[in-house]
């Protein structure tokens, strides 16, 4: 009163004009949302999310010119899956064009899973296998359960090549409620 301030002297907060709304619960982190993230719906030349709907699946993201990685990983998955039996489907997504994928895989034995082309990285971004700061895609491996929930994932600059671990972990995680 001595300073002759109004009775409510607190300053009202002014939000900047670019201050947005909170993201929807479905796209926030699993901890904040209270559940696991869901597999986004997508369709690309060579594959779509419909191919993995309703069954356990591995979705593997490769960077351009990584068809050799896909090929070596394919051989590793073939060996491991023969030992463990077929428990889930696999879909690979690459930043290569469909023509580049065809050329790179020409002469290879049939790869036992579809490889799709995502040159624009739309599906990479949906799965968050994309570095927004560096503006480039990342390698990613995602284990999705029958309900479409992501149970395990690895995203990074290097491809995750331990296929035996992925298959064992998928067996363990898919057995959980």
Q: Domain extents for the chain?
A: 36-175
Q: What is the pLDDT of residue 133?
A: 92
Give mean pLDDT in consecutive 10-residue pieces for the chain, a chain of 177 residues. Answer: 83 75 55 59 81 84 69 58 61 87 72 85 93 93 88 89 84 84
Q: What is the pLDDT of residue 165?
A: 87
Q: What is the pLDDT of residue 97?
A: 86
| CATH number given to 36-175 | 3.40.30.10
Give the residue from 99, 92, 97 showing the smallest Cα distance to 124: 92
The neighbour count for residue 83, using CB atoms within 10 Å, is 8
pTM of the model: 0.70
Give the residue from 135, 148, 68, 143 showing the smallest Cα distance to 108: 68
Q: What is the pLDDT of residue 132?
A: 92
* DSSP secondary structure of 8-56: S-PPPP---TT--PPPPGGGS-HHHHTSPPBPPP-EETTEEGGGGTTS-
């Amino acid at each position: 009163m001595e300073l002759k301030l109004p009775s409510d002297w607190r300053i009202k907060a002014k939000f900047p004009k670019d201050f947005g709304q909170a993201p929807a619960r479905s796209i926030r982190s699993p901890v904040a949302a209270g559940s696991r993230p869901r597999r986004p719906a997508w369709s690309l030349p060579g594959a779509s999310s419909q191919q993995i709907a309703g069954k356990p699946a591995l979705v593997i993201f490769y960077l351009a010119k990584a068809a050799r990685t896909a090929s070596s990983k394919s051989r590793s998955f073939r060996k491991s899956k023969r030992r463990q039996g077929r428990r889930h489907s696999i879909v690979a997504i690459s930043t290569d064009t469909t023509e580049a994928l065809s050329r790179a895989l020409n002469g290879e034995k049939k790869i036992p899973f579809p490889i799709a082309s995502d040159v624009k990285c739309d599906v990479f971004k949906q799965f968050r296998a994309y570095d927004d700061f560096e503006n480039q895609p990342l390698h990613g491996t995602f284990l999705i359960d029958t309900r479409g929930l992501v149970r395990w994932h690895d995203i990074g600059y290097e491809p995750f090549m331990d296929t035996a671990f992925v298959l064992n972990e998928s067996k363990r995680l898919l057995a959980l409620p």
